[in-house]
Structure 1
């Protein structure tokens, strides 16, 4: 233990300091030495908890995405019709990413970098989102809410249609477009997508 704290609390503290440094300096200029100094420990001690700067920043990304993942799980487990749940989940992803883009640009850039470099945090997050959405789609097929029963075709439809609105790299291209205008377009795309799933005509 360092500073009389448990390993878990030391890890959490290092992640929060790293998050603050990313906000202040950007992820490229954030250093283990700087994080260690603020934490009151040597950089060698930081490596007891995170083997590299990459691993530390990966946990910054992962911890920032956990609240969204929790909301998606909660929605997927709810009692609402599948089409309502699917709409709510996709909108939640869009709003979370857009909020990060507008309000936390340095952390959003770190998320984009993690996606481009296929870091573990990005891979696991993408897998969790896809799994929850697929679960709701399959529930919709089982309850006859969705007539499009070809899973591969349906999942391609959902993610291809939503790509511009739920992929951070694509969202960054719309940074100068108002959040309201982008959200309105997404609502239109979602309505068309859900209609295709419910009617089976895609």
Structure 2
């Protein structure tokens, strides 16, 4: 049987999912630098030309691997922003969601977490898009808080800078990687404390 047609009755989505599944396994086993399209194709039971039909390059394949675990985080943030809770509660929930999701990925799937860090360091599209989506959802909530009077700090740029400066150590993947040996529960508690301080500043309008 021709490797390009191992699954002739499979739809595009199932073939793409198989490629991604094998690619994740290769990254976990060999690391991103040593994982290859040829190796992924071989273990997926197809030619490397068939892999290129779905992913034009190794970079685009790796981008989709990162995007696939970042999308649920973005969805949770969007749902929180759309929810009925007060703006301050939304922001607290969103910041803790990011912290816990990144930390869980760092602990359970370090190879794929490192793939995100590499994307951040090299300013790859998947990292830029994710950062923009996270910031956009939080900005919506900041603007809601300002409009409703919940936040006395009415300068949106200052408010956004305060949030991300205060929480940076706990929500930036590279900073979290530096704290990988710290116990998760105390780190989350420290994150909650810092977030509470930032929200208090937003509510009273000054530090």
Same fold (TM over 0.5): yes
Determine the structure 1 residue equivalent to 2:188.
183
TM-score, normalised with respect to structure 2: 0.94
Residue 122 of structure 1, CA deviation: 0.7
| Cα distance in 2 between the residues matched to 1:102 and 1:40 | 31
Residue 7 of structure 1, CA deviation: 2.1
1:143 is the counterpart of 2:148: yes
Q: How many matched pairs?
A: 202
Residue 104 of structure 1, CA deviation: 0.9
Could you say what secondary structure the match of 2:85 adopts? coil
After superposition, the C-alpha distances for 1:133-173 in whole angstroms (9 at most, x for unaligned) are 00011011111111111011110000011100000001111
| Cα distance in 2 between the residues matched to 1:131 and 1:114 | 20
Determine the structure 2 residue equivalent to 1:86.
91
| Cα distance in 2 between the residues matched to 1:15 and 1:71 | 23
**Mean Cα displacement is larger for which, 192-201 or 175-184?**
175-184
Match of 1:117 among 122, 136, 140: 122
Could you say what secondary structure the match of 1:182 adopts? helix
Match of 2:29 among 1, 9, 24: 24
Pairwise CA RMSD: 1.2
| Cα distance in 1 between the residues matched to 2:29 and 2:81 | 36
**Mean Cα displacement is larger for which, 150-159 or 175-184?**
175-184
| Cα distance in 2 between the residues matched to 1:132 and 1:13 | 32
TM-score, normalised with respect to structure 1: 0.96
